[in-house]
Amino acid sequence: KTMISSIDKDNIDLEELKKHAKLLSEGKTVIFPTETVYGLGANALDEDAVKKIYEAKGRPSDNPLIVHIHEKEQVHELAKDVNDNAKIVMDRFWPGPITIILNKKDIVPKTTSGGLDTVAIRMPSHKIAKEIIKQSGVPIAAPSANISGRPSPTKAQHVKDEMEGRVSGIVLGGDSNFGLESTVLDLTSETPMILRPGSITKEDLESVLGKVELDPSLAKKEDNQKAKAPGMKYTHYSPDADVFIVSGSKDDVFNKVNELILINNENGLKTGVMCLEKNKHKYNGEVISLGSTLEEVASNLFNVLREMDKLKVDIIYSEEFEIAGIGQAIMNRLLKSAGYKIIKA
Ligand code: TXA
Ligand code: MG
């Protein structure tokens, strides 16, 4: 049976939250909100607890987990060789939506690191996340709280719908702020490398670190198997429908999509369209706006994919977004949910 509590992040009921922190300290699993997406947590230093995470998600166990901490100093318990780049990132961006990869200390079990000698560490800024980690007294391993392969949960309802009965506790705390998972930055080599783009962009990082690379295997499907973050190679963010990105100049995209919708209709297939707010009226079919700005698109994307499932569409066409700034993270998630299928208009 899952213990479920709704907690207001701006007025935390500490007694209620402590019940969940206690579950964590006893080696059980608890889902809690973070500023990026909801996380499915367990004691990162307890192998049996960590195994429960993989079970609850149906996640392959070679896919390493991010260890969440509530104060910066905890990094030294988990990682060795905490270099200058790490100090700069921690100083500038923590607490917040960025995860750093460093060489791990022996205290971090291989079950947590997916067999690697490195560990991913993040200090979230969300008040509930920080407090539950603090109260549990241990670092918390937490992947996104979705069943493996599904879009990450950004709203309380997503977690209730999908995870009730699969974990010991659920803390519901409203919507995520960013809506995409944290940027994952490998700091084990000379030049920092982004393994997963996120809200903290390459440009943001370069402004404090100098040269930053992007894992070259992120760009193409064929290279995806070589991705340095093991999690990037699996099917991801998949709604029930088949997703396609439609690329080209605006008018060509509108025409192409409407043409395809007619054909789909004839074949008895229901079509959904995901687009910028201002383009909504250009399309026929079931249109859901992703928002007006790239920040809104990032924060709405996973929810819109889930909304499309509710509409029971068979095919989804999405507009494409510029691969710059946060657009890099948006297109990364969108390409994965589309299985890299692009239609040229
Ligand atoms: O925003 C987030 O990061 C959320 C919230 C809950 O904090 N968590 C999250 O975790 O997205 P997860 O497990 O869904 O994604 C972790 C990513 C995966 O792509 C994984 O392969 C990569 O980080 N990763 C973890 N440890 C790694 C390591 N030692 N080396 C390389 N990649 C690693
Ligand atoms: Mg995930």
Token output for 248: 């080209």
Place of tokens 């924060």: 299
pLDDT interval class at 232 (50, 70, 90): low
Contacts of residue 84, Cβ cutoff 8 Å, sequence gap at least 6: none
For 103-159, what is each residue's pLDDT tens digit?
Answer: 999 999 999 999 999 999 999 999 999 999 999 999 999 999 999 888 999 999 999
Residue nearest to atom 12 of ligand 1 (CA): 143
Token output for 50: 């960590």
pLDDT of residue 216: 87
pLDDT of residue 63: 85
φ/ψ of residue 63, rounded to 5: -95, 110
- Nearest-atom index, ligand 1, CA of 142: 6
pLDDT of residue 226: 62
φ/ψ of residue 272, rounded to 5: -110, 150
Cα(64) to ligand 1 centroid in Å equals 7
Q: Does the pLDDT value for residue 225 go beyond 60?
A: no
Token output for 51: 């195994």
Residue nearest to atom 33 of ligand 1 (CA): 229
| Mutation probe of ligand 1 site: the residue of 181, 218, 228 with most atoms within 8 A of C-beta | 181
> Does the interface predicted TM-score (ipTM) exceed 0.95?
yes
| Mutation probe of ligand 1 site: the residue of 66, 187, 301 with most atoms within 8 A of C-beta | 66
Nearest to 197 by CA among 69, 325, 67, 319: 325
Coil vs helix vs strand at 273: strand
Sign of the Cα torsion 334, 231, 35, 103 reads negative
Nearest to 71 by CA among 25, 20, 124, 17: 124
Pocket of ligand 1 (CB under 6 A): 34, 36-37, 39, 63-66, 99, 101, 113, 116, 118-120, 122, 142-144, 181-182, 184, 195-196, 228-232
Give the ligand whose atoms come closest to the C-alpha of residue 180.
Answer: 1
C-alpha span between 295 and 273 (Å, rounded) = 19
Q: Is-contact 146 162, C-beta < 8 A? A: yes
Nearest to 79 by CA among 63, 95, 90, 92: 90
**Regarding beta strands 315-319 and 342-344, do their DSSP bridges make them parallel or antiparallel, or are they unpaired?**
unpaired
Give the ligand whose atoms come closest to the C-alpha of residue 140.
Answer: 1
Q: What is the mean pLDDT of the chain?
A: 94
Token output for 166: 């699969």
